[in-house]
Structure formats: C-alpha cells, structure tokens
Amino acid sequence: METYINQNLLNNLFYILSSIFIYYFIYDHGKRWNMSRRHKQWLLVVCTGFPLLLCMKFPIYIADDCVHDLRQIPFLIGTLYGGWFVGGMLLLILLAVRFMFYGFQFVTVAVYATMFIVAALASPAFHRLNRSGKLFMSVWLTFFVAILTTFVAIAVSDFQVIDSYIVDFILIPPVGMLFVVYITETLKEAIMMRSKLVKVEKMEIVSQLAASISHEVRNPLTVVKGFIQLMKSQQISKETQEHYIHIALEEINRAETIINDYLTFAKPATNKMEPLMVHLELQMVIHMLQPLARMNGIQLVESLESGIITGNAQHFRQCFVNLIKNSIEAMPNGGMLTISSLVRGNDVVITVKDTGVGMTSEQINRFGEPYFSTKEKGTGLGAMVAVKLIETMHGTWNIQSEKHKGTVITVTFPLAK
Ligand code: ADP
Ligand code: MG
C-alpha cells in the first residue's frame, strides 16, 4: 500500500493543481496585455511543463524498468487543451528530463510518442465538447491510452506489469484527470462569466436607451415631414423653398448624428488600447444621454478640459454612460448634472456631479458590488461594470454622496506619456 498511495502521490497532484491556478491567474490578468494565441500556447507549455518536471523529479515509486508518477496528467492536459504544438513541446521536455534523471530507455519514447499522437488527434474533438463531455472524454481517453501504451511497452520491450504499475499508471490518472479537468473548466467558466456580465449590462443600457433615442429621432422627422407637405401644397417662392430645404436638411443631420452616436455605442467592443481625447469622448457620451436628461427635466452643465489618456474608446464611453445614467436616474424630478474634466499634474480628473437623491454610507460602501440596486427595475450591474472598466484603464475612482443632496463621482486617469 505504501508504494501505491503515499505522500509523493499527493505532492504530484498538488504540483498539477497549483499550476492550473497559476495558468488561469496569468490568463485572467493577461487580458490587458492582449495575449496572442501563440503566447497562450507558450503559457500552457510552461504551466504544464513545470508540474511535469516536478512530478518526474519526485516520483511516487521507482521500479526496475519504470518510474511511477503522475506525469501523464499534465502531459495529457497540455496536449488535449493545446493540440500538436503544446503536446510536442511537452513531449520534448518529458523525454529530455526523463533521460537526464533516469537514463535513456527506448520504451519511454514509444509510450509517450503514442500518448502524444492519440491525445493530439483527440484535441479538436475535445474542444468541441461541453463541460460534461470533456470530463467524460478525458477520463476514458486517459484510461484508454494507459492500456494502449502498456501494450506498446510490452511489444517493444520485456516490460513487466506489476500491481503498483496498474494503480499508478492505469487507475489513478483517470481519476486525477477528472479532478483536473473539472477544476480547469470551472475556472474557465468563472472567467468567461465575468466578461459575459459586461455584455448583459450593455444590452440592458442599449435597450433602455432605444426608447429615448427613438423619441429623439421622431422630432426631426416630424419637422421634415411638415416642411415637405408645405412645399407640396403651397405655391411658394424659390427663396422660401430653399429656406425650408435648409431646415429639413439640418433636421435630418441631427437625426443622423443621434443614430450614429447610438450605433457607436451598440457596436461590439474590441480590446484595443489607444490614445483617447477625454473631452471628445465625454462630449460624445453627453450627446448620447442628452435626450434622456431632457426627458427628466435635468439641466446639463459641462466644463471640459482636453487631455489625452490611454484606454479603450468603447470601454471609456460605456463607463461614463453607466455613471451618468445613474446620476440622471437619481434625479427623477429634475435637477442639475455637472460633468467636468480637468488636467491636474500627470492626471485627468473627471467628475460627474448630480443634485439627486444621494446615497447612505452603507450604499456608498456597496457601490460597485454586483447586483446591488435600490431601483425597482435596476440591474445592479452598471456601477460594477464602470468600476471594472476604470480599473482596466489604470484609473482610480472616488465617491462622495449625501442623502437628499446629491452625489459626486470623481474618476482619475493617468495622462498618456
Ligand atoms: P442600477 O442603476 O441598475 O440600480 P448600478 O450598479 O448602476 O445599478 O447602481 C447601483 C446602485 O447605486 C443604484 O441602485 C443606486 O442605489 C446607487 N447609485 C449609483 N449612482 C448613484 C447616484 N448618482 N446617486 C444616487 N445613487 C446612486
Ligand atoms: Mg445604473
């Protein structure tokens, strides 16, 4: 029993599981560096190659013709998730380390080359499966390759199948794979869920804005319609006619701008970081939310100083749409909304100030917490998305609020170098 299940077995599992956490930690935080496909593959090579090496360095049991450890788990995980490239690199690492630590053996090459080919061939199918499909496939595939490679080993050498080999090489790895794939998929889902939340909130805003925007577009259309009817029904001078056409065109332009602003926002966002002119971006957001403010009888004051920061235009706009929309919603009976930007030292300081309902200190503390909302139809996601986006653009934020007086939100971004 000592030889099958001992401290080394647990250590092997520990190396593998911690590497997966490290992989997802870097993957999650690496989004802001825009990792390419190749970078991710290299990350996977490192994060599966390292436990592979550790498992081999501290094996469970050393028999005469075979070293027992859980190396096939990181090897199979890397190959299934990363395909030919990652699998190939892992095979090189595995063979090099094996021969360095325990000397050359042809049977090792035959066993792991077989394992590599089977797993790499299965990799595309593996990627198409859902979570439970992946769990199922990884367990059976591990079991199948263990059996297959045992026959390979027997065929190419006078390999002896012993008890501890059956336990360490054939029975434990499928169970280990089940754990590892389960944890991998859970972490992946958690990361994906977060980026989905951003989209859900955006759709919410898009549909809410649609109402006020269609209202705003209808006005110019009514004016244009009126002038065209006038021109049709009356005998009018050339001069008046031109005047009418001029007004009609202006109204059409206005409608066009509104639609354009709206569409820019509704377009899917990229992750591109670029120089942003703060005052232009804010003007665009204000332009877009003006109809909503006007419908609520809110007076809008803007004092915008120009400054250039590095960020993503879509994210910047979405962030301030969320904050300003909250301010507008905090003033159901009208009020004053002040939006300003000014350059202070190496920073741009943007403030959104309203004279609305304000917040209690408990509400201030919970600001940015997902699903925290005091509104009947609130999503409680707007502030969270805004806060997340500010952080990804290396900004900081501060909130001051007093019940029945109003709220001031200050966002500071470093100026671009
Ligand atoms: P939602 O707007 O859907 O309620 P948010 O995440 O945008 O969700 O806002 C969370 C909560 O924070 C709001 O329900 C509100 O109570 C509070 N809040 C945010 N901004 C303001 C503000 N400018 N004035 C008063 N309360 C605010
Ligand atoms: Mg909101």
Three-class SS of the chain: CCCCCCHHHHHHHHHHHHHHHHHHHHHHHHHHHCCCHHHHHHHHHHHHHHHHHHHHHCCCEECCCCEECCCHHHHHHHHHHHHHHHHHHHHHHHHHHHHHHHCCCHHHHHHHHHHHHHHHHHHHHHHHCCHHHHHHHHHHHHHHHHHHHHHHHHHHCCCCCCHHHHHHHHHHHHHHHHHHHHHHHHHHHHHHHHHHHHHHHHHHHHHHHHHHHHHHHHHHHHHHHHHHHHHHHCCCCHHHHHHHHHHHHHHHHHHHHHHHHHHHHHCCCCCCCEEEEHHHHHHHHHHHHHHHHHHCCEEEEEEECCCEEEECHHHHHHHHHHHHHHHHHCCCCCEEEEEEEEEECCEEEEEEEECCCCCCHHHHHHCCCCCCCCCCCCCCCHHHHHHHHHHHCCCEEEEEEECCCEEEEEEEEEECC
- Provide the pLDDT for residue 158: 79
Fold classification of 7-200 is Arp2/3 complex 21 kDa subunit ARPC3 (1.10.1760)
| Selection from 75, 57, 64, 69 nearest residue 169 by Cα | 69
360-370 confidence digits (pLDDT tens): 999 999 998 87
Contacts (Cβ under 8 Å, ≥6 apart) of 304: 278, 279, 282, 283, 339, 340, 341
CA distance 209 to 328: 13
Please identify which residue in the block is written with the tokens 């520990």: 14
pLDDT confidence of 301, banded at 50, 70, 90?
A: very high
Q: Between residues 248 and 340, which one has the greater pLDDT? A: 340
From atom 11 of ligand 1, which residue's Cα is the shortest distance away?
373
From atom 22 of ligand 1, which residue's Cα is the shortest distance away?
327
From atom 8 of ligand 1, which residue's Cα is the shortest distance away?
380
Contacts (Cβ under 8 Å, ≥6 apart) of 360: 403
CA distance 292 to 205: 12
135-175 confidence digits (pLDDT tens): 999 999 999 999 998 888 888 887 778 777 888 888 888 99
Cα angle: 410, vertex 412, 413; to 5 degrees? 150
66-114 confidence digits (pLDDT tens): 778 888 999 999 999 999 999 999 999 999 988 888 888 888 888 899 9
CA of 329 to the centre of ligand 2 (A): 8
- Provide the pLDDT for residue 241: 86
Residue 402: nearest ligand to its CA? 1
Pocket probe mutation, ligand 1, options 203, 364, 373, 381, max atoms within 8 Å of Cβ: 373
pLDDT confidence of 393, banded at 50, 70, 90?
A: confident
Residue 324: nearest ligand to its CA? 1
Q: What is the pTM of this model?
A: 0.55
Q: Between residues 346 and 234, which one has the greater pLDDT? A: 346
Fold classification of 268-414 is Heat Shock Protein 90 (3.30.565)
Q: Between residues 233 and 316, which one has the greater pLDDT? A: 316
Looking at the chain, the domain(s) classified CATH 1.10.1760 span 7-200
Ligand 1-lining residues (CB < 6 angstroms): 322, 326-327, 330, 354, 356-359, 363, 367, 372-375, 378-384, 407
What's the residue count for the chain?
Answer: 417
Mean pLDDT of the chain: 87
Structure tokens at 129: 């499966």
268-295 confidence digits (pLDDT tens): 666 778 999 999 999 999 988 998 899 8
Cα-flanking dihedrals φ and ψ of residue 268, to 5°? -65, 145
Percent of the chain with pLDDT over 90: 44
Looking at the chain, the domain(s) classified CATH 3.30.565.10 span 268-414
Q: Between residues 124 and 31, which one has the greater pLDDT? A: 124
pLDDT greater than 90 at residue 6: no
CA of 276 to the centre of ligand 2 (A): 24
- Provide the pLDDT for residue 162: 79
- Provide the pLDDT for residue 93: 93
Which atom, in ligand 1's list, is nearest to the CA of 379? 3
Which atom, in ligand 1's list, is nearest to the CA of 323? 20
Pocket probe mutation, ligand 1, options 207, 298, 326, 329, max atoms within 8 Å of Cβ: 326
